Amino acid sequence: MEPVILKGNREGVVVHLDCNLDFNELCARIEAKIKAADTFLGNKTEVIINSGSVAFNFGQAQQLRDLLDSLGLGIKKFIPEVNNQEEVLKDIPVPQVVIDDTRFLAQGPALIIRKNLRSGQSIFHDGTIIILGDVNPGAEVIATGHILVIGNLRGIAHAGAKGDTRAVVFASRLQPTQLRIANFITRAPDEEVLVPLEPEIARIKDEMVVIEKYMQK
């Protein structure tokens, strides 16, 4: 088969990859294929990456994101996505919160976003969302699993969007304008509050959203 094949389905354009090829060579083939497929892609802004039975590590996934970004495209999702968050995160030197406590292991694949989210941007993912950057006021993050922000969370966050009350929201600086877990919701207070100086975690306790300092065990 060709190393890079573009196909359309109900979800959009799928980029099928032959991952037996050297990764750098594969990236070069992807670039050439995308550049030659303007007519096929039309006004599409995102593609789905299908790597067969091979799951890219974080570094490879980020290299693909950077490549497609240079071509004016984003990645909607990877197929397959790694189902074990610990494997997804092994190359990331940050959130110990994710892998030291089994309470934080999500049901479903993790989506890693390595950029700041601006006002007006909205992200939805069926699983856990990990953001290596800030969620600015006016931005919205919705996950059926957990939301983990290694940065400032000052926008809207909705974890456990399908009703999972075990979901949590973690942030290095937790200052959401609105925070929701499953069907429980809380909003930022009207009065001025101090900026948190330590990571915090929000979860459901006694049928209400509570925010606590994150204490690593």
CATH 2.160.20.70 domain position(s) in the chain: 85-217
Domain 1-80 is of which CATH architecture?
2-Layer Sandwich (3.30)
Strand partners, 39: none
Q: What is the mean pLDDT of residues 5-20?
A: 88
CATH 3.30.750 domain position(s) in the chain: 1-80
Tell whether pTM > 0.95.
no
Domain 85-217 is of which CATH architecture?
3 Solenoid (2.160)
> d(Cα 169, Cα 147) in Å, to the nearest integer?
5
- Mean residue pLDDT of the chain comes to 80
For 30-81, the pLDDT digits (tens) are 999 999 988 788 787 888 898 887 777 767 778 888 898 888 888 888 876 4
pLDDT of residue 217: 52
Beta strands 4-9 and 147-153 are unpaired
User: Any residues with CB less than 8 A from the CB of 209 and at least 6 apart, and which?
Assistant: 179, 180, 181, 184, 185, 186, 202, 203
Split at pLDDT 50, 70, 90, the class of 169 is very high
CA 80 from centre of chain = 15
Please work out, in degrees rounded to the nearest 5, the angle formed at the alpha carbon of residue 175 by the alpha carbons of 147 and 114.
45
Q: Is the pLDDT of residue 119 over 70?
A: yes
Range picked from 25-29, 45-49, 91-95 for highest mean pLDDT: 25-29
Range picked from 47-56, 122-131, 189-198 for highest mean pLDDT: 122-131
